[in-house]
Amino acid sequence: MFFSKTLLVLAALSTSVLGHAGVAPALGVKGTTIARNNVQRPSTNKPCGNSALSAIDTSTAVPLNGNSFTVTATNFNGGRDGSTQFTAQVDSTGKGTGFKAATVTKNGQLAPSGTGSAQITVQMPAGMTCTGGASGNRCLVSFKSAGGFGNCVVVSSGGGGNAAAGTKAATKGTKNTRSRQHARDFLSTLEDKSEQIKRAIAWMTRDTA
């Protein structure tokens, strides 16, 4: 009898610690779906739960569209525990140490009647630029549901190194254009001088003709 009760208690505890709702694509995961075991318990000390922050470069990132982005929340239980209503905060450095509150402009349900998914749209804090990761253009976004579950998501802005490469290419193109212009100007000057010399010779020899 005691053994049966112990099993029931353990089963109840294991259910309570399972992730009931998370956001995709999750930090540490490649792809645009999330599994129950990817869900964390974000806290003040650990905004990304137990996820490794070093995965910022290998995780699937959500591209910014202007100053906002959209992710997908999935709940594995109904009710408040499976809430798809989230708050969001962003760390522009990607180091997990400087999170600032963001505005959720489109949210999920506080207590959904069953399992499912919802689109969550977030507006970045004013003036924030993503500078994290090896590419220098990634942010970490911590999501926490009304039920206390959630996880971090990687967001990318612009082209990072690609933008710098584009600027370099544009500069090179400008230099090439200027070089060609200088060459044309030089040839034009030579032609003018050649014509002037011909005229001078013709003038000097006009009396001897």
Per-residue confidence of the chain (209 residues) as pLDDT tens digits? 444 444 443 333 344 457 899 999 999 999 999 999 999 999 999 999 999 999 999 999 999 999 999 999 999 999 999 999 999 999 999 999 999 999 999 999 999 999 999 999 999 999 999 999 999 999 999 999 999 999 999 999 985 433 333 334 444 544 454 555 555 554 555 555 566 666 656 656 665 55
Q: What is the number of other CB atoms lying within 10 angstroms of the CB of residue 21?
A: 32
Asked if residues 142 and 26 have their Cβ atoms less than 8 Å apart, the reply is no
Phi and psi (nearest 5°) for 131? Answer: -130, 5
Distance CA(74)–CA(111), nearest Å, equals 13
Q: Are 26 and 152 a contacting pair, CB within 8 Å?
A: yes
Model pLDDT, residue 61: 98
Strands 138-145 and 86-91: antiparallel
CA-to-CA dists, residue 56 to 26, 32, 102, angstroms: 10, 15, 19
Q: In this predicted structure, what is the pLDDT of residue 206?
A: 61
What is the model's pTM? 0.70
What is the reported pLDDT for 18? 74
CB atoms within 10 A of CB 108: 24
**Residue found under tokens 């962003």:** 90
Secondary structure of residue 112 in the 3-state scheme: coil
